[in-house]
Amino acid sequence: MSVPKNELVTRWTNAKHRLDEYNLDALLIPLGVNFQYFFGKPGSPSERFLCGIIPREGAPFLLTPAFERSNFELATGVDDIAVWDEITSPYKTLRKELDDRGIGSSIGVDPKLWIIEVERLKSANENRTFKSADRLIDDLRQVKSSWELEQLRLAAKASAEGILSAFDRLKEGMTEKEAVPILNEELGSRSGNPITYALVQFGENSAIPHGYPSERKLKQGDVILLDVGTNVNGYQGDITITKPFGSVDPVFYKIYEIVFEANRLAFDANKEGMVPSQLDTIAREHIEKNGYGKYFTHRLGHGIGLEVHEHPYIVGINQVPLKNGNTHTIEPGIYIEGKFGVRIEDDVVVTKNGCERLFDTPRHNW
């Protein structure tokens, strides 16, 4: 992942400005998706404790195992790195660093930090409190910068164009599993990265909202549903395209139009200040009035960014108004068990004056 240094500095500055609001003296971010957001290096946590600290006063610093120091300095551009070796406690080392740097007693912790690590931190830092900084971090990550939006546009474009090209390569008799390498090739050649996930569903399997590839073979008259995404610089695309393969049940076209209209109605209503539950209702009521309400069984959408699913969630219980710079999916669907399903999914960004698709995926192209 390559994040411009000025982008990271802006994220640190924004975090510092929010610490007072949450009565925190610092943020503690372990290796994981939020570390990727604040420091630019992707990775998963391991048994060796590693974190970044963003204090209210002063510059961010890292705590790493000694043998990882050069690796993380090169990967993050952060040269202030405290280390611990294999025979010392990282939690006590961190306590000394916090003390020496005059960092106060209230530490906001990434909610993704393992509970065992939280317990160890508390044990080694009896004079400090550690509490979840989930709201602060979510608030920061939900509003995308112009650089982030560019990565998301590229990811949506690579995902959509790759899916469309893969459709042209699907052959009768091919299994759902055999389509996955084709999707990986088509999306990967456009993004430079492998697919993040692939839902490949033929015929009656398309009526499973989250159906994973099986040995089911493609045949004439099937509905094909492809829900696939790839990433650019860690930012995810998530596009669903549903198409007929040969001559399908004419009811498909009726249902497709209902889903398409629901997607567009929600898109047209979307803007800063719109409440997610209202967006969900707009699409749901359209499907309901056309007689298929019970077949729309999931939320309208979810946020998208470094994670395929993140805040804000476009669901009936979310009453928090959307903000300029929020990015999310719009993906209504109708699923007729044993027959077929239709889902139409776009990635969008909320603006002050409306909503924009991150890529305008061609529809009705059969």
Specify if 363 maps to a domain.
Answer: no
Tell me, yes or no, whether 199 and 337 share the same domain: yes
CATH code, 134: 3.40.350.10
173: left (phi over 0), alpha (psi -120 to 50) or beta: left
What is the spatial distance between Cα 75 and Cα 91, in angstroms, rounded to a whole number?
23
Sign of the C-alpha dihedral, residues 227, 231, 232, 236? positive
The number of folded domains in the chain is 2
The alpha-carbon radius of gyration of the chain (Å, integer) is 23
Contacts for 87 with CB less than 8 Å, ≥ 6 apart: none
DSSP 79-95: --EEEE-TTS-HHHHHH
Domain that residue 24 falls in: 5-142
> For residue 73, with 0-12 CB atoms within 10 Å meaning exposed, 13-18 middle and 19 or more buried, which class applies?
middle
Contacts for 184 with CB less than 8 Å, ≥ 6 apart: 194, 195, 198
Bridge partners for 235 per DSSP: 232
Tell me, yes or no, whether 163 and 238 share the same domain: yes
Q: What is the pLDDT of residues 253-303, one digit of tens each?
A: 999 999 999 999 999 999 999 999 999 999 999 999 999 999 999 999 999
Question: Per-residue confidence at 365, pLDDT binned at 50, 70, 90?
Answer: confident
Tell me, yes or no, whether 132 and 154 share the same domain: no
Tell me, yes or no, whether 40 and 124 share the same domain: yes
What is the spatial distance between Cα 31 and Cα 52, in angstroms, rounded to a whole number?
8
- Residue 1 is predicted with a pLDDT of 53
- 216, 202 contact by CB (below 8 A): yes
Q: What is the pTM of this model?
A: 0.95
Specify if 362 maps to a domain.
Answer: no
Tell me what the mean pLDDT of segment 46-53 comes to.
Answer: 95
